[in-house]
Structure 1
Amino acid sequence: MDMNVRWRAHWIWNDGEASPRNEWWCFRKTFYAAEGSHKGVRLSITADSRYVLYVNGEWVGRGPARSWTSEQSYDTYDIGYLIKSGQENTIAVLVMHFGVSTFYYLRGRGGLITQLEWYEGNKVLQTIATDSTWKTSRYLGQDSRSPRMSCQQAFAERIDARLWDSSWWDPSYDDSAWPAARIIGEAGTEPWTELKARDIPLLSEEAVYPARVEALHKVNPISWTTSIDVRNQMDADSINHCNPIGYIGYIATIIRVKTTTIATLGFPNATSHLPSISINGIRIDKASFTGTAPEKYIDIELQPGDNFLLLDVTNESDHGRNLQLGIDSGASFELISPIDEAGIDDSPFISIGPFDLNEIIDHQPVRPLSLNNETYLHLQDLSAAADLKKCLQWVKPISNALISRDNVFVACIWKNNKMSLPIPYSVQHAVTSNPEPAVIPRYEGADTELIIDFGTELSGYIAFELEAAEGTVIDFYGFEYMRDGYRQDTYDLDNTLRYICFEGRQSYVSPIRRGLRYLMVTVRHAQFPLKLYKVQMRQSHYPVADIGRFQCSDSMLNDIWQISRHTTKLCMEDTFVDCPAYEQVFWVGDSRNEALINYYTFGAIDIVERCLRLVPGSKRQTPLYADQVPSGWSSVIPNWTFFWAQACKEFVDHTGDLAFADEMWPHIRYTLDHYLEKRDERGLLFIKGWNLLDWAPIEQPDNGVVTHQNLFLFQTLLSSAGLARLVGDEEGAITYESAASKLRESINRYLWSDDHQAYFDCIYEDGRYSESFSIQTQVVAYLCRSADVEREAAIKRHINKPPETFVQIGSPFMAFFYYEALVHMGEFGHMLDDMRRNYGQMVDMGATTCWEMYPNFAVNRANPNMPTRSHCHAWSAAPGYFLGAYILGVRPGALGWEEIIIEPQVAGLSWARGSVPHPSQGRIDVSWRIMGDNTIHLQVWLPRNVQATIKLPTGYEGVIERFDI
């Protein structure tokens, strides 16, 4: 990393579209390096949207770190060891431009900027920079029509290796036919008005082999699949943001057959919306569909000639989940555009509408859609393409760019038939370092499917090496869970890669990050058995050491701690992310808990600081700060903003970094002042937004007074007052303490129920109080110390023995706050029992990481048989913090851990030992063992200059031994 790059380079691109949809471009520069010039060489680089860098044919790195476009992050590499002095050298860069906003990227425009410098000390001796002497070419083997992976992410991967020389990054490659790159502008050119050096280390990357081939199947594919970006078709501007879109309209096509035919029409991923369907004007009752949700299938009769298929795709909230569909038939069929005006770049589909359109931003008023458009209602009975002349002003062809050539996800989960076969031992060669390849069986008239188990959840990049005939198609599909014949498919995540082979031996490393445990590999159209030499994941995460340790007399708790640590590691990328598979998004509220878990498992500091610094950039979208950043979704979860402010104070407490406190304090004041403006005449926070705390049926309306939010605002005001005093803003501290006091009074005046001796969950917009009560609200009330002594005693009873009529804890995320409440009550055994009960279910079901939801909690799942949605979710890794902080008993006693408190809790265990990272002094080791009924032997290894207060558990006597290290 270098904070002082003086940019002489220009941003470059090609002569094509400024911001194309899903295009990969290659850039090369060949130069002569003088004798002895291989030392002191650094290369700085960034690109929009992502890059992969090669020097002299060697892979160097990938990036950049996610950032706001106006504060574009760049990376710096020391590459002297790769430079060949006295010879020609080549820099090659693959740039993957999204062309759409995602939950981790805001649409900019295509661009690359790179600067290579030879230096001696601080003196730059020579510079090679991006300019018009660089060469560029489209990566012709990449299919820009591949579908979106999900509404949160960019695009799935489709590679035809026959169309592109895989050695394009090699110095020997002849790029003489490539055109010159076009200069866009100097560093500082919009939209990248500032370039900021990467503020965290580059991510680690290591090859991991699978554990075994889990299954072998002979399969037959269905006839035809595709994916349609209906949201972009209905609203072309939606590429610039990720806010949900509501629209009213249709899409249509013609299915042409020669004879009367029965075909199956399938929507294998109808998680949020199943279109209303008519064929030749005959409407199909949705109740007639078969299949377990979200998969829906219907048999339709097709008449000889043209059959008009009309799909009513009206959707009140389309977040970007593509319409995935397939058609299967024993007879041949063809899809034809219903209009004569379709061009060469148009698909067989058209859209009709939108007859109404809106954009939904959760913290702003939204105009509802009008379903009363006469043309829209009349077209419900449209029976033939000829009738489109009645509404030509509403008809628009759908470009091929929005229609995938195929849908690998659908092809992998929807098959005509599947036959399980025994696995020859030689096939296991594919998952080992054995130099002999696995010869994959070939079946006449069918495809071959392997399911490979990596043995644990991973996050990174698929890599493989094989030998195949030209045109052999290999589909890779990553998923997270299978057990006892059940496979959980990744609905709403197209976690696939299609690779079409050239003749001979070849290898490929995917540049698309993905999370998975299992990998389905389907070999299609093979002319002879494929030789698979290896399949790997290049595991990638934030570079950490496993400093934290935990073991105890309960093996289940040991397993729970291990999966908590592994989960946290996999969710540490260039920021904390919620999960490595479905989203890969930096959710602001999640990261507060993730930071605390990381402090106790890895002790990483820079990643926490980076996450906290990113949040204020969202004030361009809202002064309330967005709940995930940097993102095209302008969404607000007020609690997430409050957790961020608290996390800033906790970071300062953890590190003692007062300069960071000074930097962040104005941003905290800015957003809290805007939240205080949302108080109503009662003095309560009354806000429109995504008022979330837990995946549970709490009454937490998107517009109204939500009790847990008022409580967390109260707590945040007090926490921020403490931060104000650290930076010398006494006036600010007094202001927030006063606001907190008034809010506490309002909470207790308006939100307490004497009848139930509990806090209501909410007051609705119309003044109604919530009918139900929740454990969640009582937990937050206890944590925030809002109640007087009598009321606190009542809510403690609810927390310790939850009434059956109360809404119960619904997610491991909420369990973090629940555990905080339990340890403050001294209920350590209760906490461990809850871990055993809920996390123990995950371990018993083979989990290697913590799940997003408890397996016995079915809210927000596409399929009720799913044990959870995401099988690796860092918001769930609470045991990684609590077992170190309370069972080992290591907690800070002063700013920056200059003093610590060690007070272990027995909680029914007979021994425990482990390590906790110290933010600046290495680590603290603790070991304790029960020697008798109430005797304990406690040993502590501490940095010699760290002051510590060491206490025995209440009710125990024994020996304390301190060892300085």
Structure 2
Amino acid sequence: MLTNWQAKWIWGEGEESPRNEWRCFRKSFTVPAGEGGSDGYSLRITADSRYVLYVNGTQVGRGPVRSWPFEQSYDTYEIGHLLQPGESNTVAVFVNHFGVATFYYVRGRGGLLAELNDSEGNVLAATDATWITSLHQGHHTRSSRASCQHAFAEYVDASLWDSAWTGQVYDTADWTSSVVLGPVGMEPWIALKPRDIPLLTEEIIAPVRVESLAKVKSFQVTATLDVRNAWIDGSEDHANRIRFLGYAATLIRSTQAGQATIGFFQDRECLKALSLNGEWIDSAQMYGSAPERYVDIDLQAGDNLLFIDVSSDIHTGKLQIGLYAEDDNVVSFQAPAPSSSELTSEWLRIGPFDAVELLDHQHVRTLDWEHPAYLEFRDKVRSVEDLRAYQEWIKPIDSKYVSEVDVFVLSVWRKENIRYAVPAQLQNAVIPHAEAAIVPVFEGYDTEVLFDLGKEYSGYLSFEVEADEGVVLDWYGFEYMSGEYRQDMFGLDHTLRYVCKAGRQRYETPIRRGFRYVSLTVRGAQKPIKLYSVNMIQSNYPVAEVGQFTCSDELLNDIWEISRHTTKLCMEDTFVDCPAYEQVFWVGDSRNEALVSNYLYGVQDILKRCLRLVPGSSHQTPLFADQVPSGWSSVIPNWTFFWAIACAEYYEQTADEAFAAEMYGHIQFTLQHYLAKIDDRGLFAVKGWNLLDWSPIDQPNDGIVSHQNMFLVHTLRVGARMARISGDQAGASSFDEAALNLETAINEHLWDADKLAYIDCIHANGRRSDVLSMQTHVVASLTGVAQGDRKAIIDSYLVSPPDNFVQIGSPFMSFFYYEALAKLGEVERVLGDIRHNYGMMIRNGATTCWEQYPNFFENRANPDMLTRSHCHAWSSAPAYFLGREVLGVRSLAPGWTEVEIAPVPSGLTWAKGSVPHPAGGRIDVAWTLDESTKTIVLHISYPESIAVRASVPEGYTGIIHETKLALL
């Protein structure tokens, strides 16, 4: 493997870290005659933030995988088969620099690094000043911020940029030389690391049908203001929450007097009240269910002064607004006053009057909601002239913070929505290689076509159309609909606006999205357009479908399948929580996801990569962050504990002692910092995000939380085990002692003798919680904190949950519940709970596992909203427990060198399936049960290298047929 680099980091002229910049790079070179077309030509590449690589016009790959900037990951491609000997060859790279921190990207600076070597290590092309570059003029930098987790939505005008720029021959007269930034090892990319997982898959998925056709009308004018970055200087550098006070101002210019509707669509952010022509309207006077808020207004002819109180507690901090006027009225947003600034903007920023950055649900001081200037402004400003008295607080908003259009708003709100039966020829749009589908045009309306992929997928949208120049195609993907109800994905703008060039054209987006349904709204067309294809390029970590499961209960089979599909969709370059809303590596989620993946796919590199990323957050917090790599410096203590537990479970899966020792050093480091927060009662007390479950359990963000203390006991014992594996006996003894001390303190202070239960918490003011929950007792049982009579009592609660206990609120928490029940031998109760909760998902059309059970806190206001995310891998527990308990396949020794096969029928009459073995091969199990004779026939096969203990269930007799498979 090549380790030395001749390449230099390069970029273009301008800002060091430009906002949402799309930049093209090219380098042409000659491969000597008689060479090329063979193995041995490798191209190494990385970029900040994301790239797409082309060789002689052929797309080769995209990357890099997420990483901390101080250990930047690079990819290597073998490209000999694409090179043409004796001719000029071209490498082209399309780079998108975010310019803002996200939940999976820490802000660096714009940069590209690439080097092409032959088999001898000679350099054919390496990034330097001879590479030429240009801004991609078709990609608009002013597209809307997608969310705090993501970077930006997409707005591309194909008529402004020739897609042939990636080919061998292209007119680059207007391009400029790249700017050399520095050598390998420069900041912020101090170290480079080769990619440690395979390239992700790319599989073309076509829709299964056209769901609907409609003619629609929406707002005449929309705008999105990035309030966070426009108001709070330096907020691009992190993704932490911010609380602030301020106003936005604009003029609504109306060609005539008349009625209008203003709509707001932000997810509980940036809208406290608004004022039109001096009259304040509080949010309580608006209609619509949050986050959709509407107000009907009367516009006067000419200019109407609009103030919006945008004060709030924000992550994304985005103001989304739409304006619809009746009749033939033409409306627009205009600058409220002339400005001496060189910036031109239709919007003014007023404030911030006060601001606080929030870290881990803490802040250094309280926001001054009584700030005099903030209050006086609302009371005294009624006109443009009144603004002059507040010039010190007023600044024009740079146009880069104001999006040119909000496609999400246009796609969600329809003033008119008239549906038609879908013509047979339009269904051709979902049939590969069919004739073009004709999308009709309706005079005075836009045309919406809605496609159904059949189930959710995650990847890259592509389409091929024939249209006139200037026709607008707005694409909007979402996860769920049922009948007339469409669950719009507020808080996420993963839309794509594509402005057509003339003729037939194909586009493939470089931005990953996750959805089941995707709407296409055609705007501005004078004649029908031809639609040749709509596809999702499904992309995930490459896995073979080794794990299998079927049984006599078809409902369980369906549940296993949605669990499998969900897990696969959430395996990207790390495990991620969901393919749509976030695509974030949440550390705690991945522990459960990894266990499920072990029983489905048996791959380990992705988990090793996840575990190694976590300690990189130590520069943010020694307690380790809950999502990495991320610009949000946030800690959920349980998530750190689950990471340490996952490190030990990785050892159990692989018997990799070297990796265990590597992780032990990091576990030891962070546990020492956690132990520093043990109080004088011997309990763990911390101010932070003390989360376990989305439910009304008493888990305050300051104080002593019972489930956290219990998981810390278990984690300390995990630390002791990892210490012994690593040869640190003193460290093991120290952690064992700390675990025992904490366990003793829990049983002394957190047990309520009168209620015969563990309380949820002790608040920071010393108040003992009066809340009892299933969550706390599941953890008490699972971690072994409860012993003797107490364990018998709490285990009875698990088997028969008391009505006065807070019940489990998420499938994530159910995973731990199922673990505890399985340890008690209550597998039939596990299956019953799975049938109840996951069966409800199936009955509601789920093709993937939901993030939440219905009626949790985010969707109580809308009974149709059954869950937030409809695809969430922390919910894939059935795929693990059906393999582990019903098939009965369990490891008994590190590396699965010894395996138990002991099925637990639990009311089923037959089951069969496969479980991957981590060293290769698989374990196949098939059993059939005759309840009348209490007999079972069990067929198993497995690699001959492992020792297997097979048994029939207690109370049954049977025959076991074993087949040992030889190894190559």
Report the TM-score range of the alignment, normalised by the length of the smaller protein.
Answer: over 0.9
- Unaligned ranges ≥5, structure 2: none
- Name the structure 2 match of 1:102: 102
- Name the structure 2 match of 1:174: 171
CA deviations over 1:799-831 (Å, ceiling 9, x no partner): 111111110000000000000011011111110
SS in 2 for 1:699: coil
Report the identity percentage: 54
The CA distance in 1 between the partners of 2:279 and 2:221, in whole Å, is 23
The CA distance in 2 between the partners of 1:422 and 1:767, in whole Å, is 64
The CA distance in 1 between the partners of 2:926 and 2:844, in whole Å, is 30
- Name the structure 1 match of 2:200: 203
Give 1:342 shift: 5.9
Q: Tell me, yes or no, if the aligned pair for 1:479 and 1:495 is still in contact at 8 Å.
A: no
- Name the structure 1 match of 2:546: 547
The CA distance in 1 between the partners of 2:391 and 2:557, in whole Å, is 66
Give 1:344 shift: 5.7
Give 1:261 shift: 2.1
- Name the structure 2 match of 1:20: 18
The CA distance in 1 between the partners of 2:206 and 2:5, in whole Å, is 41
- Name the structure 2 match of 1:36: 34
The CA distance in 2 between the partners of 1:795 and 1:716, in whole Å, is 21
- Name the structure 1 match of 2:331: 333
Q: Tell me, yes or no, if the aligned pair for 1:267 and 1:295 is still in contact at 8 Å.
A: yes
The CA distance in 1 between the partners of 2:18 and 2:564, in whole Å, is 40
- Name the structure 1 match of 2:79: 79
Runs of 4+, deviation exceeding 6 Å: none
Letter in 1 for 2:585: F
Alignment of 1:568-647 (within 5 A): 568-647=567-646
Give 1:363 shift: 6.0
Letter in 1 for 2:634: S
SS in 2 for 1:196: strand
- Name the structure 2 match of 1:10: 8
Letter in 1 for 2:305: F
SS in 2 for 1:348: coil
Give 1:265 shift: 1.0
CA deviations over 1:18-56 (Å, ceiling 9, x no partner): 110001000000111112221210000000000000001
CA deviations over 1:177-229 (Å, ceiling 9, x no partner): 31111110111111101110000001000111110000000111211111111
Give 1:439 shift: 0.6
- Name the structure 2 match of 1:380: 378
CA deviations over 1:391-450 (Å, ceiling 9, x no partner): 110101111100101100000011220101011110011111134100111111111101
- Name the structure 1 match of 2:388: 389
- Name the structure 1 match of 2:364: 366
The CA distance in 2 between the partners of 1:651 and 1:799, in whole Å, is 28
Letter in 2 for 1:681: D
- Name the structure 2 match of 1:764: 763
Q: Tell me, yes or no, if the aligned pair for 2:152 and 2:494 is still in contact at 8 Å.
A: no
The CA distance in 1 between the partners of 2:350 and 2:366, in whole Å, is 20
- Name the structure 1 match of 2:470: 471
Matched, 1:958 2:963: no
Matched, 1:124 2:121: yes
CA deviations over 1:652-672 (Å, ceiling 9, x no partner): 111000010111111100000
Give 1:156 shift: 0.3
The CA distance in 2 between the partners of 1:259 and 1:924, in whole Å, is 75
Q: How many residues align?
A: 959
CA deviations over 1:563-583 (Å, ceiling 9, x no partner): 001000000000000000000
After superposing the two structures, state which structure 1 stretch, 145-154 or 31-40, moved more. 31-40
Give 1:854 shift: 1.3
The CA distance in 1 between the partners of 2:776 and 2:909, in whole Å, is 34
The CA distance in 2 between the partners of 1:447 and 1:307, in whole Å, is 28
Give 1:346 shift: 2.9
Alignment of 1:934-949 (within 5 A): 934-949=934-949
- Name the structure 2 match of 1:320: 316
Alignment of 1:262-411 (within 5 A): 262-315=259-312, 317-330=313-326, 331-341=329-339, 343=341, 345-362=343-360, 364-381=362-379, 382-411=381-410
Give 1:290 shift: 1.4
- Name the structure 1 match of 2:895: 896
The CA distance in 1 between the partners of 2:865 and 2:964, in whole Å, is 50
Give 1:364 shift: 4.8
Give 1:282 shift: 0.9
Letter in 2 for 1:113: L
SS in 1 for 2:795: helix
The CA distance in 2 between the partners of 1:342 and 1:404, in whole Å, is 22
Seen in structure 2, the aligned counterparts of structure 1 residues 859 and 418 have a Cα distance that, compared at 3 Å, is closer
The CA distance in 1 between the partners of 2:283 and 2:950, in whole Å, is 66
SS in 2 for 1:426: helix
- Name the structure 2 match of 1:557: 556
After superposing the two structures, state which structure 1 stretch, 595-604 or 294-303, moved more. 294-303
Matched, 1:152 2:149: yes
CA deviations over 1:864-913 (Å, ceiling 9, x no partner): 42110000000000011111111111111111111111111010000110
Report the aligned-residue RMSD: 1.2
Seen in structure 2, the aligned counterparts of structure 1 residues 564 and 385 have a Cα distance that, compared at 3 Å, is same
SS in 2 for 1:415: coil
- Name the structure 2 match of 1:675: 674
- Name the structure 1 match of 2:921: 922
Give 1:860 shift: 5.5
Q: Tell me, yes or no, if the aligned pair for 2:221 and 2:331 is still in contact at 8 Å.
A: no
Give 1:719 shift: 1.3
Seen in structure 2, the aligned counterparts of structure 1 residues 43 and 861 have a Cα distance that, compared at 3 Å, is farther
SS in 1 for 2:345: strand
Q: Tell me, yes or no, if the aligned pair for 1:270 and 1:296 is still in contact at 8 Å.
A: no
CA deviations over 1:718-774 (Å, ceiling 9, x no partner): 111111111111001100000000000000000001121111000000001112110
Give 1:158 shift: 0.3
After superposing the two structures, state which structure 1 stretch, 585-594 or 788-797, moved more. 788-797
The CA distance in 1 between the partners of 2:559 and 2:857, in whole Å, is 22
The CA distance in 2 between the partners of 1:321 and 1:941, in whole Å, is 56
TM-score normalised according to structure 2 size: 0.98
Q: Tell me, yes or no, if the aligned pair for 1:842 and 1:855 is still in contact at 8 Å.
A: no
Letter in 1 for 2:602: G
Q: Tell me, yes or no, if the aligned pair for 1:491 and 1:862 is still in contact at 8 Å.
A: no
Letter in 2 for 1:702: N
Give 1:856 shift: 4.7
The CA distance in 2 between the partners of 1:298 and 1:237, in whole Å, is 33
The CA distance in 1 between the partners of 2:303 and 2:483, in whole Å, is 45
The CA distance in 1 between the partners of 2:344 and 2:838, in whole Å, is 51
SS in 2 for 1:91: strand
The CA distance in 2 between the partners of 1:842 and 1:744, in whole Å, is 38
Alignment of 1:354-753 (within 5 A): 354-362=352-360, 364-381=362-379, 382-753=381-752
Letter in 1 for 2:454: G
- Unaligned ranges ≥5, structure 1: none
Letter in 1 for 2:244: Y
Q: Tell me, yes or no, if the aligned pair for 1:695 and 1:860 is still in contact at 8 Å.
A: no
Letter in 1 for 2:318: N
CA deviations over 1:567-620 (Å, ceiling 9, x no partner): 000000000000000000000000000000000001110000000000000000
The CA distance in 1 between the partners of 2:728 and 2:861, in whole Å, is 49
Letter in 2 for 1:506: Q
Q: Identify which of 212, 215, 218 aligns with 2:215.
A: 218
The CA distance in 2 between the partners of 1:144 and 1:729, in whole Å, is 54
Give 1:270 shift: 4.2
Q: Tell me, yes or no, if the aligned pair for 1:471 and 1:501 is still in contact at 8 Å.
A: yes
- Name the structure 2 match of 1:880: 879
Seen in structure 2, the aligned counterparts of structure 1 residues 143 and 126 have a Cα distance that, compared at 3 Å, is closer
- Name the structure 2 match of 1:48: 48
The CA distance in 2 between the partners of 1:406 and 1:862, in whole Å, is 29
After superposing the two structures, state which structure 1 stretch, 268-277 or 67-76, moved more. 268-277
